[in-house]
Amino acid sequence: MIIGLTWTIAAWKWTLVNYFKEKWFTISTMSDIIKVELDKRLLENTRDNFRVVWNSLREEFWAWILVKKIIENNQNKDLVIDWIRSIWEVEELKKHENSYLISIDAPIETRFKWMIERWKESDPKTFELFIEADKKNNWNWIENTWIEVLKCMEKSDFNIYNDWSLENLSKKIEEIINKILI
């Protein structure tokens, strides 16, 4: 089984990832590939540099190449691919039998609150900067990038709108997994 995850910034997607880890899924995140490339290029680990490197890899090797490589490197494993960001990646995922895309979103004010609580160096520090980062993350043809989370979310097999407690989110995840496994 292959599960792709797409999500808006700070929507508690790690709850999903941890759930799958507990169920013995292999977790592969495309951000790990990007971090290696950032190091190779001697670039700082920032959202903007992530976007630049992400797009240069996609232009050089085609938009779906990261998903394809992850799947090829994890044959015969239950796999979660974290960070599906373009419609081409969704299409590559969907070529494979027994594959699903799950999206997770939450109200923007809630996500900002959660982001502040988790605090990462690369996170925006004000609500205004968070809104700007969120727009770039969700629909970013303006800067000639291929990040289009909202389109990916529309193509999801399962959508989670996370405006509940962690307990309710866990129940929703369990419901989705039960549907997939039946």
Burial of 69 (0-12, 13-18, 19+ CB in 10 A): middle
Helix (H, G, I), strand (E, B) or coil at 112: helix
**CB burial readout 114-125, b (16+ within 10 A) else e:** ebeeeeeeebbe
The 3 state secondary structure assigned to 27-59 is: EEEHHHHHHHHHHHCCCCCCHHHHHHHHHHHHH
Q: Could you list the mean pLDDT of each consecutive 10-residue stretch along the chain, which spans 182 residues?
A: 92 84 87 86 88 79 78 88 88 94 93 87 89 80 65 94 79 88 73
Strands, sheet with 2-7, edge to edge from the N-terminal-most edge strand? 26-29, 79-82, 2-7, 99-105, 158-161
What is the CATH T-level fold of the domain 2-181, as seen in this structure? Rossmann fold (3.40.50)
pLDDT of residue 142: 47
pLDDT of residue 140: 57
pLDDT of residue 94: 95
How far from 51 is each of 43, 47, 108, 117, CA to CA, in Å? 12, 6, 21, 24
pLDDT of residue 63: 64
pLDDT of residue 146: 63
**Nearest partner of 84 among 75, 74, 76, 93, judged by Cα:** 93
* Type and span of the H or E element at 76: none
The span from the CA of 89 to the CA of 112, in Å, is 27
Question: What's this model's pTM, rounded to 2 decimal places?
Answer: 0.83
* Cross-strand bridge partners of residue 4: 81, 101
**Residue 97 structure tokens:** 């039998």
Sequence ranges of the domains in the chain: 2-181
How far from 98 is each of 3, 28, 79, 182, CA to CA, in Å? 9, 17, 11, 12
